[in-house]
Amino acid sequence: MRWDDLDRHQPRLADRARKRLVDPGIALVVTIGRRDGTPRLSPVEPFVLDGRLWLSMMWQSWKARDLLRDPRVLVHGIVTDRDGADGEVKVRGAARAENDRRRFAATPTPSARPSVGSPRSAGSICSRWTSRT
């Protein structure tokens, strides 16, 4: 399922998911962290591009390595108060590494866009998330 499919078929759910998962600018991902199957919880910057949910992370970070080894991922919107009155959103799927520099130029926010050419970002990746149904 693509994010734009969610927009088209379940607009109210898509609106809530965007407000809870994408709009805060930070989300949590759970990856299969170690060879023994231990989960790893990490922050990422989510954004929607070309009808898909993308997760911005540094190349060779632990979470990126986890996803290269095992693409299963759970993305969870941040909860900002004790009672959780605003609700929460969790999405499960599989991540796919995207290394196309042209895609990076189209990212919607400066914080999510690696600066192409700098040594530090030369290995940056955004992992494109695609859900399993």
* 80-120 tens-digit pLDDT: 888 878 888 999 988 888 777 676 665 655 444 443 332 23
Q: Chain-centre distance of CA 19, in angstroms?
A: 14
* Structure token pair of residue 70: 């095992």
pTM above 0.85?
no
Separation CA 33–CA 70 (nearest Å): 9
CB 60 within 8 A of CB 102: no
Give, in order, the Cα–Cα distances in Å from 70 to each of 16, 55, 62, 91. 29, 16, 12, 16
Q: What are the boundaries of each domain within the chain?
A: 3-109+120-131
CATH number of 3-109+120-131: 2.30.110.10
